[in-house]
């Protein structure tokens, strides 16, 4: 090779340096693991949340903003059950309190039973047990003005040059799950509107697929849910919630008062949301005496026994009886009735509040599914009351029937098997009114996390949260997984992972950063601040940041808006003098703090502590904050200096809290290691 002048060589070299990488990048795209990592440290603000912040209804504190408002809808419902036709016929008066600063030009109604109509859109695999006519609205008026349910085409438009008459209210979409009433007179800001609605709906029976798709057993047991015309949610984020009801995703409702009269055959027991207002008229003296003893002990008391059947025995005498329930502040009303229900009751003791009744109604032949239901539900109410906030309602009822595994205010359609999970829903979405249609993780996901804690408490053991966060590394990268912030209403193959299973993994990682007790304390404060209100996911994220006194937006972004994982590993360990250098790599897009469990030889120089280490006997837990990754590096030099005591092993992420596809490369010397914390 011929030597050239050094200046020319340098010049040629720098030209090559410019040219070669350029031509390489043009021809060979690099993978994410090879380029500096871009870590997003804020959360995406959509137009909806941006508008709310501008309006002062929500803000970066994560608490309701100074201008926060929500609609209230108060219902008075009279409903009659005809077992022969399996039909409910009802009339209702709804007072809509428009607490928003805008006039309402329209009102949307939720008609969920239209999901039972033939060819109604459904998110697979939800299938109604039976196709019906859906919920048939037979009359409708707003503010005393009757709304034409079947307007003739063109009427009221001043056809033929005739002057148009006064504008009339109109309704559309009555055969879908979301109907729209266009009002002739808007509901003024801070004003109210009264709707009168007549309707009927047949309850579907038989073997459906998916929750709420079957609501009766022949003509002897009825479990109506989402059964009456409801006012859709109107909020500061998106205005009217016009999401169709497709099956899997549940609801997003207004809070309000319910006053409900349920007319059923004599002898049929009725249970439901709220408190029974007329026990003198519908119960026997014997049942009332037994009920009076429920709060005295943890015993399970029979209110109506297997052998007490029919009018005068199971209930007060009479051909038909009207059961009157009232609930002060709830976001829905569900009930059940059967020709022969056995009714048992016990109590739960709510801290700071005292005992409340737990009611259980079940078919006599299914008593074995309820033997533990009382104690399990009592434990749930008492445990979750201490964990988050005292149980806010005056009772809780378990209802037996074909539509099992579903929750409503003060009502769970469940036997003992799902009692803990369904009882947990009384905190979300019954108390904290999240938008379950879009963001199922904000209640199903929290619920799953709570069940881990409650289950451990019931067994008298510590909850196992180690390992959960790491598990997500197995799922990350699956193209079928939607990020948790994606609207969950349309279901999909990973609906249950998105809404149920991922949240405990996320909260496991959060606990690995700030401590599980701090996570739980912060969520408890969040629950109290948002009780009977409607937090958005952003409110949750910002509230947690403030409660935990850390900017965790990098964490929320990665977990809620992406499907990324950490994929950490120990690349190399070298020792020189007293210093041991550990090269830690993260190949995924999600960053995490660097946490190392360092174990020492039994003897040697004294272990001198490092400022970022907790020394416990012959081992130390050493932590570097997530910030070490914010400059985009993928390899971090963790320098250990404990004064020269020989290090025998090092484990990265010893509590297994950070999503990692392959944890076997987290140890030095290499090999498997248990999640020890
Ligand atoms: Zn659930």
Q: How high is the pLDDT of residue 20?
A: 44
- C-alpha 405 – ligand 1 centre gap (Å): 7
How confident is the prediction for the chain on average, in pLDDT? 93
- C-alpha 421 – ligand 1 centre gap (Å): 6
* 380 pLDDT higher than 50: yes
Cα dihedral across residues 651, 657, 660, 664: positive or negative: positive
162-176, 411-425, 622-636: segment of lowest average pLDDT: 162-176
* 332 pLDDT higher than 80: yes
Instruction: Say if residues 656 and 466 touch (Cβ distance below 8 Å).
Output: yes
Q: What is the pLDDT of residues 277-306, one digit of tens each?
A: 999 999 999 999 999 999 999 999 999 999
- C-alpha 436 – ligand 1 centre gap (Å): 10
- C-alpha 440 – ligand 1 centre gap (Å): 9
- C-alpha 377 – ligand 1 centre gap (Å): 15
**DSSP-derived 3-state class of residue 605:** coil
* 161 pLDDT higher than 60: no
Q: How high is the pLDDT of residue 207?
A: 82
Instruction: Say if residues 303 and 276 touch (Cβ distance below 8 Å).
Output: no
15-24, 425-434, 475-484, 563-572: segment of lowest average pLDDT: 15-24
- C-alpha 496 – ligand 1 centre gap (Å): 10
Q: What is the pLDDT of residues 505-564, one digit of tens each?
A: 999 999 999 999 999 999 999 999 999 999 999 999 999 999 999 999 999 999 999 999
Cis-peptide, bond into residue 640, ω within 30° of zero: no
The whole-angstrom separation of Cα 544 and Cα 559 is: 14
- C-alpha 422 – ligand 1 centre gap (Å): 6
Contacts of 506 (CB under 8 A, 6+ apart): 445, 469, 472, 484, 559, 560
- For the chain, percent of residues with pLDDT exceeding 90: 88
What is the phi/psi pair of residue 367, to 5°? -60, -30
- C-alpha 497 – ligand 1 centre gap (Å): 13
Q: What is the pLDDT of residues 172-183, one digit of tens each?
A: 999 999 999 999
Question: Between 24 and 183, whose confidence is greater?
Answer: 183
- C-alpha 449 – ligand 1 centre gap (Å): 11
- C-alpha 383 – ligand 1 centre gap (Å): 17
Residue 12: exposure state from Cβ atoms within 10 A (0-12, 13-18, ≥19):
exposed
* 27 pLDDT higher than 60: no
- C-alpha 340 – ligand 1 centre gap (Å): 28
Question: Between 167 and 460, whose confidence is greater?
Answer: 460
The whole-angstrom separation of Cα 137 and Cα 228 is: 10
Q: How high is the pLDDT of residue 11?
A: 46
- C-alpha 442 – ligand 1 centre gap (Å): 11
- C-alpha 433 – ligand 1 centre gap (Å): 14
Give the CA radius of gyration of the chain.
30
For residue 575, name the pLDDT band (cuts at 50, 70, 90). very high
**DSSP-derived 3-state class of residue 18:** helix
Q: Exposure pattern of 307-341 as b/e (b: 16+ CB <10 Å)? A: ebeebebbbbeeeebbbbbebebbbbbbbbbbbbb
Give me 491's structure tokens. 């279901």
């Amino acid at each position: 090779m011929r030597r050239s002048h050094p200046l020319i060589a340098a010049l040629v070299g720098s030209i090559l340096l410019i040219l070669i990488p350029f031509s390489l990048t043009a021809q060979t795209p690099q993978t994410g693991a090879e380029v500096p990592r871009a870590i997003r440290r804020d959360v995406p603000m959509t137009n909806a949340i941006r508008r709310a912040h501008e309006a002062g209804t929500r803000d970066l504190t994560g608490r309701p903003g100074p201008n926060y408002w929500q609609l209230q809808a108060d219902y008075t419902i009279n409903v009659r059950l005809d077992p022969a036709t399996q039909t409910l016929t009802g009339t209702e008066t709804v007072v809509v309190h428009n607490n928003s600063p805008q006039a309402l030009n329209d009102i949307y109604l939720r008609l969920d039973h239209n999901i039972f109509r033939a060819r109604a859109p459904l998110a697979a695999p939800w299938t109604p047990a039976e196709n019906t006519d859906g919920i048939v609205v037979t009359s409708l008026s707003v503010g005393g003005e009757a709304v034409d349910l079947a307007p003739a085409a063109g009427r009221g438009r001043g056809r033929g040059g005739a002057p148009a008459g006064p504008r009339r209210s109109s309704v559309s979409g009555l055969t879908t799950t979301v109907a729209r009433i266009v009002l002739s007179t808007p509901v003024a800001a801070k004003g109210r509107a009264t709707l009168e609605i007549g309707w009927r709906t047949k309850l579907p029976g038989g073997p459906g697929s998916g929750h709420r798709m079957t609501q009766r057993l022949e003509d002897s047991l009825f479990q109506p849910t989402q059964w009456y015309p409801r006012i859709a949610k109107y909020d500061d984020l998106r205005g009217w919630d016009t999401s169709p009801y497709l099956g899997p995703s549940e609801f997003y409702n207004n809070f309000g008062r319910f006053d409900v009269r349920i007319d059923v055959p004599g002898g049929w027991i009725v249970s439901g949301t709220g408190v029974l207002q007329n026990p003198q008229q519908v119960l026997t003296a014997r049942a009332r005496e037994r009920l009076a003893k429920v709060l005295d002990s943890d015993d399970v008391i029979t209110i109506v026994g297997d052998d007490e059947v029919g009018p005068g025995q199971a209930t007060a005498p009479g051909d038909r009886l009207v059961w009157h329930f009232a609930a002060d502040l709830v976001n829905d009303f569900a009930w059940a009735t059967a020709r022969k229900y056995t009714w048992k009751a016990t109590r739960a003791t709510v801290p700071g509040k005292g005992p409340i009744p737990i009611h259980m109604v079940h078919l006599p032949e299914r008593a074995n599914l309820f033997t533990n239901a009382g104690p399990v539900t009592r434990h749930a109410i008492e445990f979750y009351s201490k964990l988050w906030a005292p149980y806010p309602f005056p009772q809780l009822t378990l209802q037996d029937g074909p539509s099992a595994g579903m929750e409503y205010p003060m009502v769970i359609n469940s036997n003992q098997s799902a009692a803990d999970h369904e009882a947990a829903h009384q905190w979300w979405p019954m108390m904290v009114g999240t938008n379950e249609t879009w963001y199922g993780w904000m209640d199903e996901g929290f619920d799953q996390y709570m069940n881990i804690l409650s289950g451990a408490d019931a067994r008298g053991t510590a909850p196992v949260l180690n390992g959960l966060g790491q598990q997500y590394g197995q799922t990350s990268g699956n193209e079928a997984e939607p990020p948790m912030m994606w609207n969950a209403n349309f279901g999909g193959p990973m609906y249950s992972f998105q809404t149920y299973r991922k949240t405990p993994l996320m909260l496991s990682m959060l606990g690995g950063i700030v401590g599980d007790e701090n996570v739980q304390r912060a969520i408890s404060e969040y629950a109290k601040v948002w009780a009977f209100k409607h937090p958005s996911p952003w409110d949750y994220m910002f509230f947690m940041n403030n409660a935990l006194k850390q900017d965790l937006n990098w964490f929320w972004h990665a977990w809620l808006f992406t499907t990324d994982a950490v994929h950490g590993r120990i690349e190399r360990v070298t020792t020189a003098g007293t210093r041991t250098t550990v090269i830690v790599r993260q190949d995924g897009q999600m960053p995490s703090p660097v946490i190392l469990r360092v174990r020492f030889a039994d003897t040697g120089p004294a272990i001198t502590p490092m400022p970022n280490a907790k020394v416990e006997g012959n081992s130390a837990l050493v932590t570097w904050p997530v910030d070490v990754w914010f400059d985009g590096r993928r390899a971090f030099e963790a320098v250990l200096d404990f004064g020269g005591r020989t290090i025998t092993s090092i484990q990265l992420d010893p509590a297994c809290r950070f999503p990692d596809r392959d944890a076997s490369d987290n140890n030095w010397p290499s090999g498997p290691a248990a999640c020890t914390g």
